[in-house]
Structure 1
């Protein structure tokens, strides 16, 4: 019966989502850099010729990782269209794990060697592996793109829940506090205890091997659904002229939205198939499938690109420096690591929440709400943390995480709905390429402004970034064929 076949389809879809979550849990380990940076920087200061290095310098490792991510995500999207999700995913995943593994050797050499392994190699591999799982899962559940993106990137977000405590328990099992500080910046603290530093290199060895094993099982669960020949004609040139045209009428269900599953023989089966598969149609789709070599001519593409650039720039600062900021008032390494883990739960849950918001309401409204909440939380973080103590700091970091996480589920969903599911891998890769700029710009701001304007000044700057994203999003006016916001 068709009903059982339909149920089988759903079961397979959730299997693919599980594979994507496993992959992204390892790729999301980059978000533990805010926890690792105190150990990495302290080790480099004490055990290598880089004795003058500071947190603002090692932030460049994370920013290089982000830059390489942005540069190679488009490559992953293009390769996914040509060779499928499994080969692309395992290549990128194991390259990323190799970068982590090699950091065992590089951290014992120099800061620049760590830039090469944890920044460059880890970043390139992660970027290649980022998109295939998202695209594969959206093919199975096209009507729930927001939920799918939220669940898989939620794995990215909750990675710190898993890896932060493992890293801290392994490197600093006795919960020793940083015992070294700078004369010119007494609140900037580092570890000098041999009991902590001795364990830093081998942590990367263990992480690299563990990631590779988890990634192998995740990739095994990725497989594309069977695809029919198109049942409807391509849209006319007039249809493709403007994404914001809204003339009433039904959406043009093309480009694979209706054509995901094969129809069996028999009139009754076909009728049931039509009714059940109608539920698999994304009603928020524009009805267009715009290829990568044309998408850059759309104003909406550049709005998404700019929004991604601005919001991720703020995310990079929070994820890389939340612990360094916390150390200025909290003298408990376990608590700061716990903050990273708990906030990661909100980060992962936030991606699912914002993805569901996009499915129920619209990309524009959801993004405006995300940016508005970030502005409020950033402007109040310093005063709340210093007046309310460590638990107030924990609450605000969690609220910031649940707010900022929306970027990674809202924008891929908007990309698929605005420009079509057919080329979503390559198109979202182009949107994600904004991160090529995020890294260098973030490094410049971190190294030149942190000392000059202080922590509160940095939070004001980040809030200004989100205000810019809020204003840009107001200009996003992509409609479905029924004239509603996507």
Structure 2
């Protein structure tokens, strides 16, 4: 039943003003996505703390892992607690992590303050804007969520140059402190708007989605569905390949293509642009086409990128740029596809919990991807060999998508009757 009358967002008619929640959620995720700009802080911190390049990567690895751990934990409580309070608490923790990191005197402290504390804060906040937008946009969930999550992907495009400028002016510690204060204030302010619509609220348009599978019990039924395992495996492959590529983007450009270090670093902004643009695009595609078709498209693009880099030679800058634009593009795509497919396959009312569980695939991909690529470089002497297993994973992803990432007709009929 449509109860549009009397429902408002920011004091205005809900149907139109609900779109304001998208840029607000985007800003929150832009603050959180600064973790992807960690490479800007690494060199200054290596010099100040006297640590190796390997050690300086550990805070980044830990922040991704704790972010992925606390996403499903928070997802369970999002429908039960005030989403505005969850956002506010998470924002304070994120800011605190940055501020405390500015006082770190060794890598162990930095791992705890940035990796653990900031990671926990990100995990608490990350799912809220998407859960809120999903409730307000049942008719355009893929597009709306893709636009919202673009903030996380485009963050390096904005925050990396900003952080680099601040470091050049104030040095690294005051920069961490300043960012922590700003992030806290921004997220606290926007947290006031992060609330669900009234139960049963619907926009005026009639919503039809023949492929929605409603799961009446959380999470037992989730684990009994073929589509859950298909989505989880496909997501871990997409995250693992994408995060591996992000971690080696600059060194691959320098070692394999032999481009200038400044050009290699600058190209990351181009990659971040593709990572951001892909999110609303793949979100829209996930609304319009069958999930396994969109997943296969992403894996084909990854496979093309792997083939390009396996055959890349010194001086082939265009090949390098095209390949890594595709890697970043597909990672952004999975961060939009996975939540949209979660809504499509499972009960939207249990979205926060369901996506929290599925998001553990991202954590696995982050942990494996950030550690294995460096190990491959150490064992074989070149990053080129990292693209062989990536290509193999893309092929496995195509097979899994074809066999598991589909709606289960009988289950759909059963659940829809309940």
Same fold (TM over 0.5): yes
Tell me the residue number matched to 2:31: 26
Question: Shift in Å at residue 440 of structure 1?
Answer: 4.1
1:331 and 2:336 equivalent?
A: no
TM-score (norm 1): 0.76
Instruction: Determine helix, strand or coil for the equivalent of 1:386.
Output: coil
Aligned counterparts of 2:189 and 2:308: Cα–Cα separation in 1: 43
Assess if the C-alpha contact under 8 Å between 2:64 and 2:363 holds in 1.
yes
Once the two structures are TM-superposed, the CA of residue 129 in structure 1 deviates from its matched residue by 0.9
Matching of residue 313 in structure 1 with residue 240 in structure 2:
yes
Superimposed CA distance per residue, residues 277-317 of structure 1 (whole angstroms, 9 cap, x where no aligned partner) = 41x44444224444224312222212212222222112222
Pick from 270, 294, 299: which aligns with 1:366?
294
Aligned-residue Cα RMSD (Å) equals 2.7
Secondary structure in structure 2 of the residue aligned to 1:423: helix
Distance 1:88-1:150 versus aligned 2 partners, 3 A rule: same
Query: Displacement of 1:478 after TM fit?
Result: 0.8
Q: Is this contact kept in 2: 1:67–1:438, CA < 8 A?
A: no
Q: Deviations over 1:58-116 (max 9, x none)?
A: 3332222121112100122112111132111121122122212222112xx11222211
Match of 2:416 in 1: none
Aligned to 2:84: 86
Contact preservation (8 Å) 2:69, 2:363: yes
User: 1:213–1:10: structure 2 CA closer, same or farther, 3 Å change rule?
Assistant: same
Moved more, 442-451 or 466-475: 442-451
Structure 1 partner of 2:193? 221
Contact 2:215–2:222 (8 Å) recurs in 1: no
Specify the alignment match of 1:260 in structure 2.
Answer: 201
CA distance in 2, matches of 1:110, 1:42: 13
Deviation digits for residues 39-61 of structure 1 (CA, Å, limit 9, x no counterpart): 424532x33353xx22x443332
Query: Which aligned pairs between 1:393-472 and structure 2 lie closer than 5 A?
Result: 393-453=320-380, 454-472=382-400
Q: Which has the larger radius of gyration?
A: 1
**What's the counterpart of residue 72 of structure 2?**
74
Instruction: Determine if contact 2:308/2:319 at 8 Å carries over to the other structure.
Output: no
Correspondence for 2:49: 48
Q: How many residues align?
A: 403
Query: CA 1:293–1:41 in structure 2 vs 1: closer, same or farther (change >3 Å)?
Result: farther
CA distance in 1, matches of 2:248, 2:298: 21
C-alpha distance in 2, partners of 1:207/1:199? Answer: 13
- Counterpart of 2:271 (choices 343, 349, 353) is 343
* 1:374 counterpart SS class: helix
Question: Any idea what SS the aligned residue of 2:348 has?
Answer: coil
| Residues 221-261 of structure 1: per-residue CA shift (max 9 Å, x gap) | 2221122xxxxxxxxxxxxxxxxxxxxxxxxxxxxxxx324
Structure 1 position 457, deviation (Å)? 0.6
Partner of 2:182: 210
Contact 1:100 1:205 (C-alpha < 8 Å) held by counterparts = yes
TM-score by length of 2: 0.88
Choose the corresponding residue for 1:161, options 154, 157, 163: 157
Q: Secondary structure at the match of 2:80?
A: helix
The structural deviation recorded for 1:206 is 1.9
2:394 and 2:101 map into 1 onto residues whose CA distance is 34
Paired residue for 1:142?
A: 138
Describe the shift of the 1:414–1:13 C-alpha distance in structure 2 as closer, same or farther (beyond 3 A): same
Quote the Cα distance in structure 2 between the aligned partners of 1:80 and 1:402.
29
In the alignment, is residue 14 of structure 1 matched against residue 19 of structure 2? yes
